[in-house]
Chain A
Amino acid sequence: MMQLTGAEIFLESLKREGVKTIFGIPGGVVLKIFDVMHQQNDIKLILTRHEQGAGHMAEGYAKATGKPGVILITSGPGMTNVVTALADAHMDSVPIVCFAGQVPTALIGNDAFQEADNVGISRPCTKYNFLVKDVNDLAQTVKEAFYIASTGRPGPVLVDIPKDVSMNKAEFKYPDSVSIRGYNPTYEGSKWKIKQAADAIMKARRPILYVGGGVLFSGASQELRELAEMTQIPVDMTLMALGGFPGDHPLSLGMMGMHGTYVANMAVHYSDLVIAVGSRFDDRVTGKVSEFCPNAKVIHIDIDPTSIRKNVHVDIPIVGDCKRVLRELNNVLRATVNGDQRELRKPWWDQLNAWKQEHPLRYNQDPEGLIKPQFLIDRLYHLTRDRDPIVSTDVGQHQMWAAQYFQLSSPRTWLTSGGLGTMGFGFPAALGAQAAFKNRLVLCVAGDGSIQMNTQELATAVVEKLPVKVFIINNRFHGMVRQWQDLFYEGRYASSYLDRTPDFVKLAEAYGAAGLRIQKPGEVDDGIREALAINKPVFVDVPVDQFENCYPMIPAGGCNHEMLLADPPELQKRQAVGAQQDQQDQDTILTA
């Protein structure tokens, strides 16, 4: 039997796992592995400019493809830089396998150069982690890492490889299967509970489906659609679920939660049966927990038992994979549903339609005024929707507007940082998705604050020819922070004003990417078309109304039916003064 070095075993193992692309940056202790990667063509290694970029690219890749994203980085600072991405993936259940270099086993614990306790640092922000101490364990560990990352509730797994392990030789034998005695995810839901759920659904008068990211991870979109259509139950999506059910479907009420639609939040508050599917009752969704859906029975379908009854009381818990549970539930219902469901649900839908009409999403775009961020995003959606784009976002106001206005129709087209709320996520995530799908349109909606947290990846975009289109909603503020300061801190803008933002057009051009600026509402459509036509990475800088706020809004800890729908009057007054100043600033920028 041939003896291979640890580095070669690493490569062969990755090939067996079907890995096509990995993201990373070399360093002293992983040079052997990079050297082996350099001499082969089966796996594409994308060199990023910062380990955090590599991490988010792997996340974008994983979210868009459904396959684990793979990271390869060095010890010490390489590892600490990637921690944010691991924590982000942990919160949002993204399958990631991160390989980190480590100082030689003999030096571990000696405070060696670029040593960090990788396993200790990553423990609370990974699903599991390994330190490989013997090259003979490497293949088995890689197999287990991919298995753990991609099964059950997916998540990030770290494999720490000391330098000597990558250099030493061992016989290579890749295991066919793994069995871990402490890890046996439950996939099939209890039939008895599913029957109970079906009964509850048949009895309910005002049911609502509250679906989360789990629907996407388990690939349950089809089953969800079948359930909704068969029973005519409206669908509320969380931020993470967008694309899991078609946003433009008549049964969709759009996004729910802090900045969800009026109808989505009213529906859940006044429902008598909440059917939670692959969602985890996050505080940004429930608002005040004690008054969340006060009159409803709750069915909760989730693969992670800890999600059930963590935040809210659940009447019918079903632990299992969303796809399999929904399929079974549909089977039971198909045999029971009788009569015209549309007729049965009419009173509920009358109410929902009334709420829809009462407070739809809205904005006022003055054709001569400043560009409203919602207008830009709305137009971007309409001009790209027939190309089924993949859309990534950063975190903040622009993220919420993108979530509100992009009515995505297919799964795995929405890349956003939900749980951790990581600014700087969007651009590298878009690059990761583009690396997986070279021919698809990949958009990134960013804010001027967020984009500055990872602009260095422009170099990666240019070198790797990843033509993502980045639209920077530029309000010269950390907009969501500014909105909270306006609403809850009497307009004292503590450190939220970005006095100097770079010239994003020049910045993009400096890296060899394209830069554009859209300055007037009348230029929006042409500007978007122009950007889409460029076969290069593009930064589109869009200076927008600085004081636009994102509504509806449930203030933190508020109830779901008590939404703010517009700026309160005293804020409007304050902002009128600010807007005038903004217009003057804009004029000076434009004439300069």
Chain B
Amino acid sequence: MEHIISLTLENKSGALSRVAGLFSGRGFNIESLSVAPTMDPSMSMMTLVTSGDDRIIEQILKQLNKVIDVIKVVDLNESDFVARETALIKVHTRPDDRAEALRIADIFRANVIDSSPTSYTIEVTGDFRKIQAVIQLLQPLGIKEIVRTGRVAIAREPLRTVASQPRPVAKAN
């Protein structure tokens, strides 16, 4: 099953490769990974999408906790979360396709951020399925190139004070 894991780690050289190396060394999957500094510049936040059965996910969480540069590990699947991804799609447009491309962009509230006589570059943000849908619809027109950010995710705030909150996995080495 797919899990989205949110990691807080030291913002220093080597921290990313320790996490990446852990996944390759132990044969765990990484479907996507995105990382950037937080408001505290000494820390970065990583959103990591992985998959595996319960036993593997348990190992992944424990192994991540064991990495000394990792400060906090949260399995977002333990609670409610929102996830978003941005894609930049360069779509080839023949003269009679150009309106269709704009229409599709419009439907998905996507922006055209660059255009040339034969192409549009469309920026779209949304959840995983929305991105997939845009790509599917643009495909017949001819997609020249796609870049995607990978997902970032954040836990939802509870509606009521008693609602379940994401449980940080106990940090212990």
**Cβ–Cβ < 8 Å partners of A120 in chain B:** 17
**Cβ–Cβ < 8 Å partners of B103 in chain A:** none
- The reply to whether the CB of B123 lies closer than 8 angstroms to some CB of chain A is no
Chain B 7-36 interface 0/1 with A at a Cβ cutoff of 8 Å (1 = within): 001100010011001000100000000000
Cα separation A119 to B13 with both chains bound (whole Å) = 11
Q: How far is the CB of A87 from chain B (nearest CB, A)?
A: 12
Cα separation A119 to B21 with both chains bound (whole Å) = 13
Cα separation A255 to B58 with both chains bound (whole Å) = 30
- The reply to whether the CB of A364 lies closer than 8 angstroms to some CB of chain B is no
Cα separation A139 to B69 with both chains bound (whole Å) = 19
| A307 closest partner in B (C-beta) | B62
Cα separation A183 to B66 with both chains bound (whole Å) = 8
Chain B 53-72 interface 0/1 with A at a Cβ cutoff of 8 Å (1 = within): 00100110011011111110
Are the CB atoms of A182 and B21 closer together than 8 Å?
A: no
Are the CB atoms of A148 and B172 closer together than 8 Å?
A: no
**Cβ–Cβ < 8 Å partners of A183 in chain B:** 68, 173
Are the CB atoms of B71 and A185 closer together than 8 Å?
A: no
Give residues of chain A (526-583) contacting chain B, Cβ–Cβ below 8 Å: none
Are the CB atoms of A305 and B65 closer together than 8 Å?
A: yes
Q: How far is the CB of B28 from chain A (nearest CB, A)?
A: 12
- The reply to whether the CB of A124 lies closer than 8 angstroms to some CB of chain B is yes
Are the CB atoms of A184 and B25 closer together than 8 Å?
A: no
- The reply to whether the CB of A152 lies closer than 8 angstroms to some CB of chain B is yes
**Cβ–Cβ < 8 Å partners of B70 in chain A:** 182
Task: State the interface size on chain B (CB cutoff 8 A).
Answer: 22
| A152 closest partner in B (C-beta) | B173
Are the CB atoms of A306 and B21 closer together than 8 Å?
A: no
Q: How far is the CB of B52 from chain A (nearest CB, A)?
A: 13
Which one of A123, A183, A186 has the highest number of Cβ atoms from chain B below 10 Å of its Cβ?
Answer: A183
Give residues of chain A (171-203) contacting chain B, Cβ–Cβ below 8 Å: 180-186
| B42 closest partner in A (C-beta) | A181
**Cβ–Cβ < 8 Å partners of A148 in chain B:** 68
Are the CB atoms of B68 and A119 closer together than 8 Å?
A: no
**Cβ–Cβ < 8 Å partners of B66 in chain A:** 304-306
Are the CB atoms of A319 and B55 closer together than 8 Å?
A: no
Are the CB atoms of A305 and B62 closer together than 8 Å?
A: yes
Are the CB atoms of A124 and B172 closer together than 8 Å?
A: no
Q: How far is the CB of A123 from chain B (nearest CB, A)?
A: 6
Contact among A304, A308, A310 for B173, CB-based, below 8 A: A304
Cα separation A153 to B62 with both chains bound (whole Å) = 14
**Cβ–Cβ < 8 Å partners of A128 in chain B:** 68
| B71 closest partner in A (C-beta) | A182
Are the CB atoms of B59 and A310 closer together than 8 Å?
A: yes
| B60 closest partner in A (C-beta) | A306
Q: How big is chain A's contact interface, by range?
A: 20 to 34
| B13 closest partner in A (C-beta) | A131
Which one of B66, B70, B171 has the highest number of Cβ atoms from chain A below 10 Å of its Cβ?
Answer: B66
Cα separation A352 to B49 with both chains bound (whole Å) = 50
Q: How far is the CB of A131 from chain B (nearest CB, A)?
A: 8
**Cβ–Cβ < 8 Å partners of B17 in chain A:** 120, 123
With known contacts A184-B171, A185-B173, A186-B172, A306–B63 Cβ distance under 8 A: yes
Contact among B14, B62, B71 for A119, CB-based, below 8 A: B14
Are the CB atoms of B71 and A181 closer together than 8 Å?
A: yes
Contact among B14, B21, B173 for A153, CB-based, below 8 A: B173
**Cβ–Cβ < 8 Å partners of A306 in chain B:** 59, 62-63, 66
Which one of B17, B18, B172 has the highest number of Cβ atoms from chain A below 10 Å of its Cβ?
Answer: B172
Cα separation A124 to B66 with both chains bound (whole Å) = 13
Cα separation A124 to B22 with both chains bound (whole Å) = 8
Are the CB atoms of A309 and B71 closer together than 8 Å?
A: no
Contact among B59, B63, B172 for A185, CB-based, below 8 A: B172
Chain A 144-168 interface 0/1 with B at a Cβ cutoff of 8 Å (1 = within): 0000100011000000000000000
Chain B 158-173 interface 0/1 with A at a Cβ cutoff of 8 Å (1 = within): 0000000000000111
Are the CB atoms of A124 and B67 closer together than 8 Å?
A: no
Q: How far is the CB of B152 from chain A (nearest CB, A)?
A: 21
Chain A 279-311 interface 0/1 with B at a Cβ cutoff of 8 Å (1 = within): 000000000000000000000000011101110
Contact among B9, B18, B55, B69 for A309, CB-based, below 8 A: B55
Are the CB atoms of B9 and A182 closer together than 8 Å?
A: yes
Are the CB atoms of B21 and A123 closer together than 8 Å?
A: yes
| B54 closest partner in A (C-beta) | A309
Q: How far is the CB of B70 from chain A (nearest CB, A)?
A: 5
Cα separation A73 to B83 with both chains bound (whole Å) = 48
| A157 closest partner in B (C-beta) | B68
Q: How far is the CB of A342 from chain B (nearest CB, A)?
A: 38
Cα separation A309 to B71 with both chains bound (whole Å) = 22
Cα separation A181 to B70 with both chains bound (whole Å) = 9
| A124 closest partner in B (C-beta) | B25
Cα separation A306 to B62 with both chains bound (whole Å) = 5
Cα separation A148 to B66 with both chains bound (whole Å) = 12
**Cβ–Cβ < 8 Å partners of B65 in chain A:** 305
Cα separation A305 to B66 with both chains bound (whole Å) = 8
Give residues of chain B (103-129) contacting chain A, Cβ–Cβ below 8 Å: none
Which one of B17, B21, B55, B68 has the highest number of Cβ atoms from chain A below 10 Å of its Cβ?
Answer: B68
**Cβ–Cβ < 8 Å partners of B18 in chain A:** 123
Cα separation A29 to B58 with both chains bound (whole Å) = 43
| A183 closest partner in B (C-beta) | B68
| A181 closest partner in B (C-beta) | B71
Which one of A148, A182, A305, A310 has the highest number of Cβ atoms from chain B below 10 Å of its Cβ?
Answer: A182
Give A residues with C-beta under 8 Å from B.
Answer: 119-120, 123-124, 127-128, 131, 148, 152-153, 180-186, 304-306, 308-310, 319
Give B residues with C-beta under 8 Å from A.
Answer: 9-10, 14, 17-18, 21, 25, 55, 58-59, 62-63, 65-71, 171-173
Give 4 nearest A-B pairs by CB, closest first.
Answer: A186-B172, A306-B62, A182-B71, A183-B68
* CB-defined A-B contacts under 8 Å, sample of 14: A119-B14, A123-B18, A124-B25, A153-B173, A182-B68, A182-B70, A182-B71, A184-B171, A185-B172, A185-B173, A304-B173, A305-B62, A305-B65, A305-B173
With A120-B17, A123-B14, A153-B173 given, can you name 11 additional A-B contacts, CB distance below 8 Å?
A181-B71, A182-B68, A183-B68, A184-B173, A185-B173, A304-B173, A305-B65, A305-B172, A306-B59, A306-B66, A319-B172
